[in-house]
């Protein structure tokens, strides 16, 4: 069973609309022929509409970086799934460790956000991963079990088959400290086993990405790992050439 590799760039809180437009004009010709690879940019709310318009007809999908689990209400500063699909956003990053740490995002809220995303027709990327302390204490699997089980708790097997989970060890995010191939493979194989526990037939379809200090030079080795279906790229995705080189690495592996 071949899963389509998926390379997603998470811009976090970077790029005005004008900067996003410059970026996408540089990226589109570079990924035009990236056959066999799914490509997405995950952009700030303010740049979503412009990026959806500028990528129409291209292979680049546009994702939001968060959304609320309810369809409307008195939640100042929040955005609903319907507000995203109305402007043709394709998907949404959910449970990024920065949102869990800085904004107290909980596994319970995420379990509802996953349902809300699927109900609206958005493709969710559920982020999971352990802190350095948790890894040193031997708690990596416990943390991942909790996050994956709760995140997928309310989904049907059919939805689980369409899920993307991004394993992002927190100690590797923005630190330049990449997980070793063994660490990445072991954790991602464990995530896949957790998915299999929940929905046996879905596990071979669900995609699991690696994220954390992915660079163009490091990407080929990580992407070649047996259970790694792609990458969620932060810092290196801010430069269109660097991001395109990571997409190139996935294209080459998909073709080999």
Tokens of 132: 């350095």
For CA atoms 208, 212, 216, 217, give the dihedral sign. negative
* By CB under 6 A, residue 230 contacts ligand 13P: no
- The footprint of ligand 13P on residues 210-229 (CB under 6 A) is 211-214
94 is a site residue for ligand 13P (CB under 6 A): no
Nearest residue to 94 (alpha-carbon basis) of 114, 77, 108:
114
**Element containing residue 237 per DSSP (H, E):** none
Q: Is 96 annotated as catalytic?
A: yes
Determine if 40 is a binding residue for ligand 13P (CB under 6 A): no
Question: CA 13, CA 15: separation in Å to the nearest integer?
Answer: 7
173 binds ligand 13P (CB under 6 A): yes
Tokens representing 99?
A: 């949102």
CA distances from 248 to 38, 95, 239 (A): 11, 27, 14
Q: Which of 69, 96, 98, 105 is catalytic?
A: 96
55 part of the interface to ligand 13P, by CB under 6 A:
no
Q: What is the total count of residues that contact ligand 13P (CB under 6 A)? A: 14
168 is catalytic: yes
Cβ-proximal residue to ligand 13P, closest one:
234
| Annotated catalytic residue within 61, 69, 105, 168 | 168
Q: 169 vs 198, which CB is nearer to ligand 13P?
A: 169
**So which residues are the catalytic ones?**
96, 168
């Amino acid at each position: 069973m071949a899963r389509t590799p998926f390379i997603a760039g998470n811009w976090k809180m970077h790029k005005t609309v004008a900067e996003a437009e410059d970026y996408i004009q540089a990226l589109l010709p570079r990924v035009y022929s990236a056959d066999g690879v799914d490509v997405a940019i995950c952009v700030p709310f303010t740049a979503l509409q412009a990026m959806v318009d500028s990528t129409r007809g291209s292979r680049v999908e546009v994702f939001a970086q968060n959304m609320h689990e309810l369809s409307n209400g008195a939640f100042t500063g929040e955005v609903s799934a319907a507000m995203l699909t109305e402007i043709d956003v394709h998907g949404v990053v959910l449970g990024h460790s920065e949102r869990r740490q800085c904004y107290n995002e909980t596994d319970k809220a995420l379990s509802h956000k996953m349902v809300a995303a699927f109900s609206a027709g958005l493709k969710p990327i559920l982020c999971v991963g352990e802190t350095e302390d948790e890894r040193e204490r031997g708690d990596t699997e416990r943390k991942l079990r909790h996050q994956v089980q709760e995140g997928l708790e309310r989904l049907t097997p059919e939805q689980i088959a369409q899920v993307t989970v991004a394993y992002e060890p927190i100690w590797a995010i923005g630190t330049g400290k990449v997980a070793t191939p063994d660490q990445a493979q072991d954790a991602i194989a464990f995530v896949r086993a957790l998915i299999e526990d929940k929905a046996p037939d879905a596990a071979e379809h669900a995609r699991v990405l690696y994220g954390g200090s992915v660079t163009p030079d490091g990407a080929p080795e990580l992407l070649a790992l047996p259970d790694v279906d792609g990458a969620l790229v932060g810092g290196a995705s801010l430069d269109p050439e660097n991001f395109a080189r990571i997409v190139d690495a996935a294209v080459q592996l998909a073709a080999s």
